[in-house]
Amino acid sequence: MHRPTLSLSSSYSALLPGDEVRFRCASPADVCAPVEVRFNKLGSGSPLVGTSESVGSGVVLAVNNVDAKHQGSYTCQYTVQGNVTLRSPPSNSIAIYIVDLLPPRIFLSSPTEGVTWGPQGPELTRGHSFTITCSTQPQYPGGSFHLYFMGSNVTESQAAVNHSASFLFSSAEHSHQGNYSCVYETTVSTRSFSSPASTVLHLTVTGTMNTYQARGNVSEEEEEQVYANVESFHTKDDKEKEEEEDDSGSEADYENCSQPLETEYQVEDEEDIYLN
């Protein structure tokens, strides 16, 4: 007997849980006797159960609401009923994939000490660099991650490397404050799939870095200018203090000079009194 041909009537061999898959098993055209078609999953002793209908020289089997247990390779086989029951060789095999992506994980890190953890999530001091990392379990190779800044149209995308991607921000600003989430996207058998979104990461940006924290990002020329301004400030301040001291010294000298004159005058007055 001739071997039947198995094909998919569905658009894709990669399916989401809950999708419908349709197999078509075509028997040779010269078979006119009553034919029974059986669809088998390799490695399983039970036939695939579904709703079948005859279409031309073949039979189409529709399986609704597929899930993880339906993933695998399938063949079909037909049996001719007559005086003697004849069974064909198995058909070619076709694999289907049930793609059920898990939500990725999301977390924030900073190479500096500017991160603390508040009741709503990470709190970062303004001016510090930070990295948001998205990762997923190794279900499928490749793919990419999309980082969404919720409440805006800002989206960053990066290819997955070792099932993760890191998004670097060189300097935290108040505009970075808000909610972030990750989505993992991959292609399986020519069909694209997107995972559910990760949990929401809420970032709070507070305050500013102090001078010593900021110095690591300041050029030598800028740093020299800072020191020059500080030196100039102290020089000016010292000059003002010296002028104040000079003024106070002049006043003291004036008082010291006037005091003896007043004393001599008083002595002369006393002598006049005695003479009189």
Of 168, 184, 217, which residue is a domain's last?
217
CA distance 48 to 79: 16
Q: What are the tens digits of pLDDT across the range 69-121?
A: 999 999 998 888 777 778 889 999 999 999 999 999 999 999 877 788 888 89
Using an 8 Å Cβ cutoff, are 177 and 95 in contact? Answer: no
Q: Per the domain annotation, does 146 fall within a domain?
A: yes
Which of the two residues, 2 and 255, has the higher pLDDT score? Answer: 2
158 and 123 in a common domain: yes
Q: Are residues 142 and 88 in the same domain?
A: no
- What's the distance, CA 44 to chain centroid? 41
Domain span holding position 93: 5-98
Query: DSSP labels for 200-241?
Result: PEEEEEES---HHHHGGGS-HHHHHHHHHHHHHHHHHHHHHH
What pTM value is reported for the model? Answer: 0.68
| CATH number of the domain encompassing residue 120 | 2.60.40.10
pLDDT tens digits for 127-149? 999 999 999 999 999 999 999 99
44 falls within a domain: yes
The residue-averaged pLDDT of 197-219 equals 70
